């Protein structure tokens, strides 16, 4: 059985300070985390591997300037990791990345299960998993809280309305996991040292493929950035006016807008 896990990195928000008034984002400490939801997807993959035996292969969710995220995945226990490079890959958005990932999966010889995070920490993107499912022609189960594989089926608990339900799909399938859904394992220390020192068997497990060569044509993005915007500067100390009923209305409006219910 082969499980593909698609992983990405995100700048640690604890190292960022946003100055809304100046319209600037200051990066005080540039440290990258593995996307929390992708980390849960990786954990889910490793649990299936522990239980049923499988080859777990890590692929990148977006263009990466270095292979650190893939080394982390190897330290955590994946069998192989593929670092994608290529002229013109740098600007790829999700739509472009899907083409590269589909080609990479074909070159691997296919897979039985594709796992990735349900959402990204920074931009709240949920589309990668479903896009991959469409491109591969596989069923998708999104926003899962747990995963079990048995009898060629993926069984996932997900939220539907206010309830948690158990759903299942035949493999091959794409399943995306919620951040915080699983208790995460720690990397194995010796594996970690070896992969970062490039020694031992594990060093062979990290490969580099040229994405543009795989796909056979440039990977132009469909969506492009058009700058940033900042929330209005925080005005503390505002008081709601009027009767208790009017104050309640003002409070309700403010809450509804921010809690989104």
Partner 1 sequence: MDFTFSPEHTALRRMIREFVEAEVAPIAAELDREHKVPYEVMRKLGEIGLLGVCFPQKYGGMGAGETGYCILMEELGKVCTSTATNVGAHIGIGAMVIHLDGTPEQKEKYLTPLSRGQKIAAFGLTESNAGSDAANIRTRAVREGDSWILDGGKVYITNGGYADIITVMAVTDPALGARGGVTAFIVETDWPGFSVAREEDKMGIRGTSTAELVFEELRVPHENVLGKVGEGFVSFMKSLDMGRLTLGAACLGGAQAALDWSVRWAKRRRLFGAELAHKQSVQWMIANMATEVEALRSLVYRVAWMVDTGQPFTQLAAMCKMYGSEVASRAIDMALQIHGGLGLTRDYPIERAFRDARIAEIFEGTNEIQRIVIATNIFREHGVRIRP
Partner 2 sequence: MDASYLDLLMAQQEEVSEAEGGGGGVWVVADLLDGALAPVTLQALGAARTLADSLGAYVYAVLPGSGVSDLTPILYQAGADGVRIADDPSLASFALEPYLAVLSDLFAAEKPEVVLFGATDAGEQLAARLAQRMGGGLIEHVTAVSLDEATRAVQATFPIYGGAYFEIAACPQARPQFLTVEPGAFPTPYLDRYRSGEPKTLAVQPVEAAVRVVGAAEDFVPPAVPLAQAPVIVAVGRQAGDVELARQLATALGAQFAGDRGARDAGWIDASRIVDVRGVTVAPRVYVALGIRGDTFHNAAIEEAGFVLAVHPDPSAPIFEVADLGLEADPAEVLPALLEALK
Closest distance to partner 2 from the beta carbon of 51 (Å): 18
Place of tokens 């939801």: 37
Beta strand 80-85 pairing with 173-177? unpaired
Please identify which residue in 189, 216, 227, 231 interacts with partner 1, judged by CB under 8 A.
189
The binder of 186, among partner 1, partner 2, none, by C-beta within 5 to 8 A per type, is partner 1
Cis previous bond, 172, omega within 30: yes
The binder of 137, among partner 2, partner 1, none, by C-beta within 5 to 8 A per type, is none
Closest distance to partner 2 from the beta carbon of 127 (Å): 4
Please identify which residue in 95, 167, 192, 250 interacts with partner 1, judged by CB under 8 A.
192
Question: Residue 173: enclosing H or E segment and its boundaries?
Answer: strand 173-177
Closest CA to 34 of 123, 98, 120: 120
Please identify which residue in 95, 130, 188, 209 interacts with partner 1, judged by CB under 8 A.
188
Closer residue to partner 1, CB minimum distance, 55 or 68: 68
Place of tokens 């590269």: 100
Query: What length does the chain have?
Result: 261
Closest distance to partner 2 from the beta carbon of 170 (Å): 7
Closest distance to partner 1 from the beta carbon of 69 (Å): 11
Paired tokens of 165: 């339900």
197 is a site residue for partner 1 (CB under 8 A)? yes
What stretches of 66-117 adopt beta strand conformation (E)? 80-85, 113-117
The binder of 190, among partner 1, partner 2, none, by C-beta within 5 to 8 A per type, is partner 1
Q: How many whole angstroms separate alpha carbon 140 and alpha carbon 59?
A: 18
Closest distance to partner 1 from the beta carbon of 28 (Å): 13
Q: How many whole angstroms separate alpha carbon 35 and alpha carbon 190?
A: 23
Closer residue to partner 2, CB minimum distance, 1 or 18: 18
Beta strand 55-60 pairing with 80-85? parallel
196 is a site residue for partner 1 (CB under 8 A)? yes
Site residues for partner 1, window 6-65 (CB under 8 A)?
Answer: 31
Q: How many whole angstroms separate alpha carbon 231 and alpha carbon 124?
A: 17
Binding site for partner 1 (CB under 8 A): 31, 68, 71-72, 75, 186-190, 192-194, 196-197
């Amino acid at each position: 059985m082969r499980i593909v896990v698609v992983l990405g990195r995100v700048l640690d928000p604890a190292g960022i300070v946003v100055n809304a008034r100046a319209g600037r984002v200051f990066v005080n400490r540039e440290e990258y985390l593995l996307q929390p939801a992708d980390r849960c997807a990786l954990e889910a993959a490793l649990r299936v591997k522990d239980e049923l035996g499988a080859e777990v292969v890590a692929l990148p969710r977006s263009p990466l300037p270095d292979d650190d995220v893939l080394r982390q995945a190897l330290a955590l226990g994946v069998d192989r990791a593929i670092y994608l490079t290529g002229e013109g890959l740098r600007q790829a958005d999700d739509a472009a990345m899907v083409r590269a990932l589909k080609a990479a999966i074909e070159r691997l010889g296919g897979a039985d299960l594709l796992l990735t995070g349900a959402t990204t920490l920074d931009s709240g993107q949920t589309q990668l998993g479903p896009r991959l499912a469409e491109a591969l022609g596989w069923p998708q189960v999104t926003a899962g809280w747990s995963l079990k594989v048995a009898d060629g089926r993926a069984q996932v608990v997900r939220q539907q309305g206010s309830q948690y339900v158990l759903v299942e799909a035949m493999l091959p399938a794409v399943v995306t996991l919620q951040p915080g859904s699983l208790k995460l394992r720690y990397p194995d220390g010796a594996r970690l040292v070896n992969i970062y020192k490039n020694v031992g068997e594990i060093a062979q497990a990290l490969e580099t493929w040229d994405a543009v060569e795989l796909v056979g044509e440039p990977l132009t993005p469909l969506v492009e950035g058009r700058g940033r915007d900042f929330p209005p500067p925080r005005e503390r100390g505002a008081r709601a006016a009027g009767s208790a009923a009017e104050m309640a209305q003002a409070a309700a409006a403010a809450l509804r807008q921010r809690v989104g219910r």
